[in-house]
Structure 1
Amino acid sequence: MSIIELPLPQEIVASLPGAANDGAGLVGVSANDSPEKIVEALNEFIGNPPKAGLFKRIDNWNERAMPLGALWGQQLVRKFGWEWALVDFEGDRYVGAFDRQRSMGVLPFDYVFETLEQRETPTILLGFNMIAEGALPKFEGRSYTNIMEGIQHIVEPE
């Protein structure tokens, strides 16, 4: 599998804090709250998103995945010292948050979008807690393992 890290465009870097602030507003927290509080609010919001008004359709990519993904990624940066990166996986490019060894990371925008679109139970809080507890396997450096592909609830939360 061909994986290449590319320079993250400056316009993306510059947009992340503002997008994260927008995400904080959506889930009802301050961007200065603890990462734990923010991730819990994110997980709850994505699991039970508010409905759009009558005759209004929500654009899950622009109105939700972008701000919520930025907010989630920023918490990984704040809490664990992860870094934003642009990665090309076999010709498909993704912006993600990765540990410094690039052994593991998340693709927050794509994860949030897919979870909302498929109405799946989010595992953001579970993943965050697993990182914090060191409960994930050790991945090879520069493998860019998307940990969210393997994080699932054994028992669905109530």
Structure 2
Amino acid sequence: MAVVKTQGTQGFVVWDDEILRFKCVKKYGYGQDSFSKIDVTCLDADSKTYERGMRDPGEGSIEITYDDENDSHDKLIEIAESGKTLTWYIGSGHSKDAPTIDPVVGVKLPTTRAWNEFKAYINPTAPNDVEVDSVESYTFALVRNSGITRHKRTIVVGP
């Protein structure tokens, strides 16, 4: 049975017209989407009937153990302060191939790994609690403005 391990997962955004990779992230939490219920029950019905309504994208988180020598951690703090909604690309550990920017089609995702793509902003946050026998860390609230689009990797079958 094949499984997709999370080790090797990498996250990217386009920031200042460049692909930015976040290094040494501990967790990407997507949160779970919910949908509103639209009541379409007739007065003579014995039980309620609903249609699925609008998507309410989930709120997840991004966690880091802060490293002041890791520029991507400082960029994460800067992105949070900006409040900008960005398109996020989370690539599986199948390869280390990064997205590229094509002037005609925009962001191109390598087919050597699976991708989760979504739009979200992150909220500014204070460092997590300071306590004995610990290190400085942050947990950013990741507020999605879209569902997650899954891009399956291309699986090469041997001859």
Same fold (TM over 0.5): no
Which is higher, the Rg of structure 1 or of structure 2?
2
Q: TM-score, normalised by structure 1?
A: 0.22
Higher strand share: 2
